[in-house]
Amino acid sequence: MGELKSAWEIAQERANRLGRLSPEEKDQQERQECRQIGQALAQKWLDSYQQLDMAAELNNHEETKRKIIKQALIERLLEAIELTTSQGISNTKRAIEAISSLEPQLQPKAEEISQLVQEYEGAEQKTRQELESSYKQTLHQLRISGTAVDAINIEATHEWQLARQRLLETFAPELNALKQALIS
C-alpha cells in the first residue's frame, strides 16, 4: 500500500510542481501591491476628517516601493477630482491639498485646478440664485407668498438639472486637461 499523505503535503507537492514565480512575475506582483497601498492611502486621506501626514505614511515603506506607492496615490487622488457632487468638490479640494504636499512641483497646476473649482462654484451659485429668483418671481405673479416661497428646492427642478449639466459641460474639458497635465 502507498504512503498516506496529509493535505498539507499534497498541497506542497502541487505548489512545487507549479514552480516559483519568475522575477518578472514577482516584480509585477510587488508593483500591484504597491499600487493597492497607494490607492488605499489616497482613500484614507479622502475619507479622513483630520489631516494625515502623507510623508510619514510613505516613509513607512521601503525606498524602492515608495515611488510606485506615491504614483498610485497621486493617480487615485486625481480620480477623486470631479465637479458632479458637493462631496466630489470637497474631495477635489482635499485631493489638491494632498497632491501639493506630496509633489511641490505640481503645486502650480494643482492651484489652477483649485481656481477652476472656485470658478465653477461661483458659476453654480450664480445659476442657483438666478433660478431661485425666477421661481420666486413666478410664484409672486401667481400671488403665492410666505413660507411656501422660502422653501423652494431648486435642485429638484428640471431647469436646475439642465443648467448644472451645461456648467459641467463647460468646465469638465478644462478640468480634464489640467488633470492630464498633472499626470504627465
Report pLDDT for 1: 45
Q: Is the pLDDT of residue 171 over 90?
A: yes
Q: pLDDT tens for residues 154-167?
A: 787 899 899 999 99
Higher pLDDT, 110 or 23: 110
Q: 83 and 71 in contact (C-beta within 8 Å)?
A: no
Residue 5 pLDDT grade (very low, low, confident, very high; cuts 50, 70, 90)? confident
Going from N- to C-terminal start, the domains of the chain cover 108-184
pLDDT confidence band for 15 (50 / 70 / 90): confident
Taking the alpha carbons at both ends of the chain, their separation in whole angstroms is: 66
CA distance linking residue 92 with residue 110, whole number of Å = 10
- Could you say which DSSP state residue 61 is in? S
Residue 175 pLDDT > 90 = yes
pLDDT given at position 151:
66
Looking at residue 155, the DSSP 8-state letter turns out to be: G
What residue has cell string 400671488? 143
User: Residue 84: what pLDDT?
Assistant: 81
pLDDT, tens digit, for every residue of 37-95? Answer: 999 989 988 888 777 788 888 888 888 889 999 999 999 999 988 888 777 788 888 88
pLDDT in tens, 115-152: 999 999 999 999 999 988 887 888 777 777 777 666 67
Residue of 72, 65, 63, 66 lying closest to 35 (CA atoms)? 72
| Burial class (CB within 10 angstroms; exposed 0-12, middle 13-18, buried 19+) of 180 | exposed
Residue 4 pLDDT > 80, yes or no? no
Of the pLDDT bands very low, low, confident and very high (cuts 50, 70, 90), residue 168 is very high
Cβ atoms of 178 and 112 closer than 8 Å: yes
